[in-house]
Protein backbone atom coordinates (compact mmCIF):
# COMPACT_ATOMS: atom_id res chain seq x y z
CA UNK A 1 0.00 0.00 0.00
CA UNK A 2 2.97 2.33 0.38
CA UNK A 3 3.05 2.75 -3.42
CA UNK A 4 -0.28 4.59 -3.27
CA UNK A 5 1.24 7.45 -1.28
CA UNK A 6 4.38 7.64 -3.44
CA UNK A 7 4.96 11.00 -5.16
CA UNK A 8 5.06 9.18 -8.50
CA UNK A 9 1.29 8.81 -8.39
CA UNK A 10 0.91 12.59 -8.16
CA UNK A 11 2.95 12.95 -11.34
CA UNK A 12 0.92 10.21 -12.99
CA UNK A 13 -2.35 12.02 -12.24
CA UNK A 14 -0.94 15.39 -13.36
CA UNK A 15 0.44 14.05 -16.65
CA UNK A 16 -2.71 12.04 -17.39
CA UNK A 17 -4.87 15.11 -16.79
CA UNK A 18 -2.79 17.39 -19.03
CA UNK A 19 -2.62 14.78 -21.80
CA UNK A 20 -6.39 14.35 -21.62
CA UNK A 21 -6.92 18.08 -22.15
CA UNK A 22 -4.43 18.12 -25.03
CA UNK A 23 -6.12 15.11 -26.59
CA UNK A 24 -9.49 16.89 -26.40
CA UNK A 25 -8.05 19.90 -28.22
CA UNK A 26 -6.45 17.63 -30.81
CA UNK A 27 -9.77 15.91 -31.40
CA UNK A 28 -11.41 19.28 -31.94
CA UNK A 29 -8.77 20.34 -34.48
CA UNK A 30 -9.13 17.09 -36.43
CA UNK A 31 -12.92 17.29 -36.38
CA UNK A 32 -12.91 20.91 -37.52
CA UNK A 33 -10.91 20.02 -40.68
CA UNK A 34 -13.32 17.40 -41.96
CA UNK A 35 -15.03 18.31 -45.20
CA UNK A 36 -18.47 17.46 -46.43
CA UNK A 37 -18.28 14.37 -48.65
CA UNK A 38 -18.61 15.01 -52.38
CA UNK A 39 -21.53 12.68 -53.10
CA UNK A 40 -24.65 12.49 -50.93
CA UNK A 41 -22.55 12.86 -47.73
CA UNK A 42 -23.52 9.45 -46.39
CA UNK A 43 -21.27 6.74 -45.03
CA UNK A 44 -23.08 4.05 -46.99
CA UNK A 45 -24.75 2.64 -43.88
CA UNK A 46 -28.51 2.22 -44.19
CA UNK A 47 -31.02 0.97 -41.59
CA UNK A 48 -34.75 0.31 -41.87
CA UNK A 49 -34.71 0.68 -45.66
CA UNK A 50 -34.19 4.44 -45.85
CA UNK A 51 -32.44 5.53 -42.63
CA UNK A 52 -28.99 6.71 -43.79
CA UNK A 53 -25.99 7.63 -41.65
CA UNK A 54 -24.62 11.06 -42.58
CA UNK A 55 -21.06 12.26 -42.14
CA UNK A 56 -21.58 15.98 -41.48
CA UNK A 57 -18.98 18.07 -39.65
CA UNK A 58 -19.65 18.91 -36.01
CA UNK A 59 -21.85 22.00 -35.47
CA UNK A 60 -19.86 25.17 -34.78
CA UNK A 61 -21.77 25.90 -31.55
CA UNK A 62 -20.88 22.44 -30.26
CA UNK A 63 -17.22 22.98 -31.15
CA UNK A 64 -17.13 26.31 -29.35
CA UNK A 65 -18.83 24.80 -26.30
CA UNK A 66 -16.28 21.98 -26.25
CA UNK A 67 -13.42 24.51 -26.44
CA UNK A 68 -14.93 26.45 -23.53
CA UNK A 69 -15.05 23.30 -21.38
CA UNK A 70 -11.36 22.63 -22.05
CA UNK A 71 -10.45 26.25 -21.27
CA UNK A 72 -12.55 26.11 -18.10
CA UNK A 73 -10.78 22.93 -17.03
CA UNK A 74 -7.36 24.53 -17.57
CA UNK A 75 -8.32 27.64 -15.57
CA UNK A 76 -9.83 25.51 -12.81
CA UNK A 77 -6.66 23.42 -12.52
CA UNK A 78 -4.60 26.60 -12.27
CA UNK A 79 -6.60 27.87 -9.27
CA UNK A 80 -7.66 24.65 -7.53
CA UNK A 81 -5.97 21.31 -6.72
CA UNK A 82 -6.33 18.71 -9.44
CA UNK A 83 -2.90 18.22 -10.99
CA UNK A 84 -1.59 15.57 -8.65
CA UNK A 85 -0.17 17.17 -5.51
CA UNK A 86 -0.31 20.71 -6.90
CA UNK A 87 -2.38 22.85 -4.53
CA UNK A 88 -3.36 25.51 -7.05
CA UNK A 89 -2.74 29.24 -6.74
CA UNK A 90 -5.69 29.74 -4.35
CA UNK A 91 -4.38 27.05 -1.96
CA UNK A 92 -7.95 25.85 -1.48
CA UNK A 93 -8.63 22.72 0.61
CA UNK A 94 -11.86 21.11 1.74
CA UNK A 95 -10.52 21.16 5.31
CA UNK A 96 -9.84 24.87 5.09
CA UNK A 97 -13.31 25.58 3.76
CA UNK A 98 -14.86 23.41 6.46
CA UNK A 99 -12.97 25.21 9.20
CA UNK A 100 -13.88 28.61 7.74
CA UNK A 101 -17.56 27.65 7.71
CA UNK A 102 -17.27 26.36 11.26
CA UNK A 103 -15.71 29.63 12.40
CA UNK A 104 -18.45 31.59 10.69
CA UNK A 105 -21.13 29.51 12.39
CA UNK A 106 -19.45 29.91 15.77
CA UNK A 107 -19.27 33.66 15.39
CA UNK A 108 -22.96 33.76 14.48
CA UNK A 109 -23.87 31.64 17.53
CA UNK A 110 -21.56 33.41 19.99
CA UNK A 111 -24.23 35.89 21.17
CA UNK A 112 -26.64 33.01 21.83
CA UNK A 113 -24.19 31.17 24.09
CA UNK A 114 -22.79 34.27 25.78
CA UNK A 115 -25.48 34.38 28.46
CA UNK A 116 -25.02 30.70 29.32
CA UNK A 117 -21.29 30.77 29.99
CA UNK A 118 -21.65 32.16 33.53
CA UNK A 119 -24.49 29.77 34.46
CA UNK A 120 -23.83 26.55 36.37
CA UNK A 121 -25.38 23.17 35.58
CA UNK A 122 -28.36 23.70 37.91
CA UNK A 123 -29.18 27.09 36.40
CA UNK A 124 -28.83 25.74 32.88
CA UNK A 125 -31.05 22.79 33.74
CA UNK A 126 -33.79 25.19 34.80
CA UNK A 127 -33.52 27.22 31.59
CA UNK A 128 -35.82 25.77 28.92
CA UNK A 129 -34.02 27.55 26.07
CA UNK A 130 -30.63 26.26 27.20
CA UNK A 131 -31.97 22.71 27.50
CA UNK A 132 -33.49 23.02 24.03
CA UNK A 133 -30.06 23.92 22.64
CA UNK A 134 -28.48 21.12 24.67
CA UNK A 135 -30.97 18.63 23.26
CA UNK A 136 -30.16 19.62 19.69
CA UNK A 137 -26.44 19.35 20.41
CA UNK A 138 -27.01 15.92 21.93
CA UNK A 139 -29.09 14.67 18.99
CA UNK A 140 -26.49 15.89 16.49
CA UNK A 141 -23.36 14.65 18.27
CA UNK A 142 -24.21 11.98 20.85
CA UNK A 143 -27.43 10.21 19.91
CA UNK A 144 -25.70 8.03 17.31
CA UNK A 145 -24.17 6.00 20.16
CA UNK A 146 -26.21 6.82 23.27
CA UNK A 147 -29.62 6.97 21.61
CA UNK A 148 -31.93 9.96 21.24
CA UNK A 149 -33.16 9.46 24.81
CA UNK A 150 -29.62 8.97 26.18
CA UNK A 151 -30.38 5.46 27.43
CA UNK A 152 -27.64 3.86 25.36
CA UNK A 153 -27.46 0.22 24.33
CA UNK A 154 -25.10 -2.71 24.72
CA UNK A 155 -21.58 -1.29 24.89
CA UNK A 156 -22.83 2.31 25.03
CA UNK A 157 -23.48 3.70 28.53
CA UNK A 158 -26.90 4.85 29.66
CA UNK A 159 -26.57 8.56 30.40
CA UNK A 160 -30.06 8.86 31.85
CA UNK A 161 -29.51 6.68 34.92
CA UNK A 162 -27.53 7.24 38.11
CA UNK A 163 -24.73 4.79 37.29
CA UNK A 164 -21.64 6.87 36.46
CA UNK A 165 -18.30 5.14 35.96
CA UNK A 166 -16.02 8.15 36.28
CA UNK A 167 -17.86 11.02 37.90
CA UNK A 168 -21.11 12.95 37.87
CA UNK A 169 -19.99 16.57 38.14
CA UNK A 170 -20.43 19.17 35.44
CA UNK A 171 -16.68 19.64 35.04
CA UNK A 172 -16.14 15.89 34.70
CA UNK A 173 -18.83 15.51 32.03
CA UNK A 174 -17.46 18.49 30.09
CA UNK A 175 -13.97 16.98 30.26
CA UNK A 176 -15.21 13.66 28.84
CA UNK A 177 -17.11 15.40 26.04
CA UNK A 178 -14.12 17.53 25.09
CA UNK A 179 -11.28 15.03 25.55
CA UNK A 180 -13.01 11.67 25.23
CA UNK A 181 -12.53 8.73 27.54
CA UNK A 182 -11.07 5.24 27.29
CA UNK A 183 -12.33 2.48 29.56
CA UNK A 184 -10.08 -0.55 29.75
CA UNK A 185 -10.80 -3.91 31.34
CA UNK A 186 -7.67 -6.07 30.94
CA UNK A 187 -7.94 -9.84 30.32
CA UNK A 188 -7.96 -11.48 33.75
CA UNK A 189 -8.38 -15.18 32.98
CA UNK A 190 -4.72 -15.96 33.70
CA UNK A 191 -4.92 -14.20 37.07
CA UNK A 192 -8.18 -15.90 38.02
CA UNK A 193 -7.06 -19.45 37.20
CA UNK A 194 -8.57 -22.23 35.11
CA UNK A 195 -11.56 -21.99 32.80
CA UNK A 196 -13.66 -23.49 35.57
CA UNK A 197 -12.44 -20.82 37.98
CA UNK A 198 -13.49 -18.12 35.51
CA UNK A 199 -17.00 -19.61 35.36
CA UNK A 200 -17.16 -19.70 39.14
CA UNK A 201 -16.11 -16.05 39.32
CA UNK A 202 -18.85 -15.24 36.82
CA UNK A 203 -21.38 -16.92 39.09
CA UNK A 204 -20.04 -14.97 42.06
CA UNK A 205 -20.35 -11.70 40.14
CA UNK A 206 -23.96 -12.58 39.32
CA UNK A 207 -24.60 -13.22 43.01
CA UNK A 208 -23.31 -9.75 43.94
CA UNK A 209 -26.25 -8.12 42.18
CA UNK A 210 -28.79 -10.64 43.36
CA UNK A 211 -29.13 -12.09 39.86
CA UNK A 212 -29.99 -15.74 39.27
CA UNK A 213 -26.86 -17.80 39.88
CA UNK A 214 -25.41 -21.13 40.98
CA UNK A 215 -24.78 -20.66 44.69
CA UNK A 216 -22.25 -23.49 44.94
CA UNK A 217 -20.18 -22.18 42.01
CA UNK A 218 -20.50 -18.63 43.36
CA UNK A 219 -19.10 -19.70 46.71
CA UNK A 220 -16.14 -21.34 45.00
CA UNK A 221 -15.58 -18.25 42.86
CA UNK A 222 -15.54 -15.83 45.81
CA UNK A 223 -11.91 -16.53 46.66
CA UNK A 224 -10.86 -16.19 43.01
CA UNK A 225 -12.59 -12.81 42.86
CA UNK A 226 -9.60 -11.42 44.75
CA UNK A 227 -7.91 -10.98 41.36
CA UNK A 228 -10.70 -8.54 40.43
CA UNK A 229 -10.91 -6.74 43.77
CA UNK A 230 -7.99 -4.43 43.00
CA UNK A 231 -10.26 -2.47 40.65
CA UNK A 232 -13.81 -3.44 41.60
CA UNK A 233 -13.23 -3.53 45.37
CA UNK A 234 -13.51 -6.41 47.79
CA UNK A 235 -17.31 -6.05 47.81
CA UNK A 236 -17.52 -5.48 44.05
CA UNK A 237 -18.90 -1.95 44.41
CA UNK A 238 -16.46 -0.53 41.90
CA UNK A 239 -14.12 2.42 41.94
CA UNK A 240 -15.23 5.62 40.15
CA UNK A 241 -11.67 6.97 40.21
CA UNK A 242 -10.54 4.01 38.08
CA UNK A 243 -13.71 3.82 36.05
CA UNK A 244 -14.33 0.32 37.44
CA UNK A 245 -18.09 -0.39 37.39
CA UNK A 246 -20.20 -1.38 40.37
CA UNK A 247 -20.91 -5.10 40.10
CA UNK A 248 -23.52 -5.11 42.85
CA UNK A 249 -26.20 -3.30 40.86
CA UNK A 250 -28.10 -4.78 37.95
CA UNK A 251 -26.65 -2.54 35.27
CA UNK A 252 -24.80 -4.55 32.63
CA UNK A 253 -23.07 -2.50 29.97
CA UNK A 254 -21.68 -5.40 27.92
CA UNK A 255 -24.33 -8.06 28.42
CA UNK A 256 -25.79 -10.12 31.26
CA UNK A 257 -25.26 -13.74 32.20
CA UNK A 258 -22.43 -16.18 32.82
CA UNK A 259 -21.16 -16.27 29.25
CA UNK A 260 -21.06 -12.49 28.92
CA UNK A 261 -19.03 -12.20 32.13
CA UNK A 262 -16.74 -15.07 31.12
CA UNK A 263 -16.04 -13.31 27.82
CA UNK A 264 -15.14 -10.07 29.57
CA UNK A 265 -12.89 -11.79 32.13
CA UNK A 266 -11.18 -13.87 29.42
CA UNK A 267 -10.77 -11.32 26.66
CA UNK A 268 -10.98 -8.01 28.47
CA UNK A 269 -12.74 -5.03 26.98
CA UNK A 270 -11.84 -1.55 25.79
CA UNK A 271 -14.43 1.13 25.23
CA UNK A 272 -13.58 4.46 23.62
CA UNK A 273 -15.60 7.64 23.87
CA UNK A 274 -14.22 9.85 21.04
CA UNK A 275 -13.25 13.41 21.86
CA UNK A 276 -15.73 16.02 20.66
CA UNK A 277 -13.67 19.09 21.52
CA UNK A 278 -12.65 19.65 17.91
CA UNK A 279 -16.27 19.68 16.77
CA UNK A 280 -17.81 21.69 19.60
CA UNK A 281 -16.89 25.03 21.13
CA UNK A 282 -16.28 25.29 24.90
CA UNK A 283 -19.61 27.14 25.18
CA UNK A 284 -21.44 24.31 23.42
CA UNK A 285 -19.73 21.73 25.64
CA UNK A 286 -20.80 23.76 28.70
CA UNK A 287 -24.47 23.62 27.69
CA UNK A 288 -24.31 20.01 26.45
CA UNK A 289 -22.73 18.83 29.70
CA UNK A 290 -25.55 20.42 31.67
CA UNK A 291 -28.10 18.73 29.41
CA UNK A 292 -26.54 15.31 30.00
CA UNK A 293 -26.54 15.87 33.76
CA UNK A 294 -30.14 17.06 33.60
CA UNK A 295 -31.20 13.82 31.89
CA UNK A 296 -29.72 11.83 34.76
CA UNK A 297 -31.20 14.17 37.38
CA UNK A 298 -34.68 13.87 35.88
CA UNK A 299 -34.43 10.08 36.03
CA UNK A 300 -33.28 10.14 39.66
CA UNK A 301 -36.11 12.46 40.69
CA UNK A 302 -38.68 10.29 38.89
CA UNK A 303 -37.33 7.20 40.65
CA UNK A 304 -37.96 8.67 44.14
Handedness of CA 234, 236, 237, 243 (dihedral sign): positive
pTM above 0.85, yes or no: no
The pLDDT score that the predictor gives to residue 77 is: 92
The pLDDT score that the predictor gives to residue 2 is: 47
Those residues with Cβ within 8 angstroms of residue 119's Cβ, 6 or more apart along the chain or in another chain: 127, 130, 290
Show the domains of the chain with their CATH numbers. 2-79 (no CATH), 101-180+274-303 (1.10.760.10), 184-273 (1.10.760.10)
> If you average pLDDT over every residue of the chain, what do you get?
89
The pLDDT score that the predictor gives to residue 304 is: 46
Those residues with Cβ within 8 angstroms of residue 229's Cβ, 6 or more apart along the chain or in another chain: 236
How far apart CA 164 and CA 184 sit, in angstroms, is: 15
Strands annotated E in 35-101? 42-47, 51-54
Phi, psi of 161 (to 5 degrees): -110, -170
Q: Does residue 201 register a pLDDT over 80?
A: yes
Q: Which residue has the higher pLDDT, 229 or 31?
A: 229
Q: Which residue has the higher pLDDT, 59 or 148?
A: 148
Note whether 293 and 168 are within 8 A (CB).
yes
Lowest-pLDDT range of 36-45, 243-252, 271-280: 36-45
Q: Does residue 300 register a pLDDT over 70?
A: no
- Segment 196-220 shows an average pLDDT of 95
Kindly provide the b/e burial profile for residues 246-271, where b requires at least 16 CB atoms within 10 angstroms of the residue's own CB.
bbbbeebbeebebeebbbbbeeeeeb
Amino acid sequence: MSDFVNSGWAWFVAVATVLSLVACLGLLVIASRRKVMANDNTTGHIWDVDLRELNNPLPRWWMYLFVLTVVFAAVYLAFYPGLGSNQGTLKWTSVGQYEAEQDKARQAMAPVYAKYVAMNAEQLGADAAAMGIGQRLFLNNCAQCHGSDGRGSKGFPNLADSDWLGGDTHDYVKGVISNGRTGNMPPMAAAVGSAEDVKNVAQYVLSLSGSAHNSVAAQQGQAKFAACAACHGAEGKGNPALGAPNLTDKIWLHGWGEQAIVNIVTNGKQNVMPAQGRLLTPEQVHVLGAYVLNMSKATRVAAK
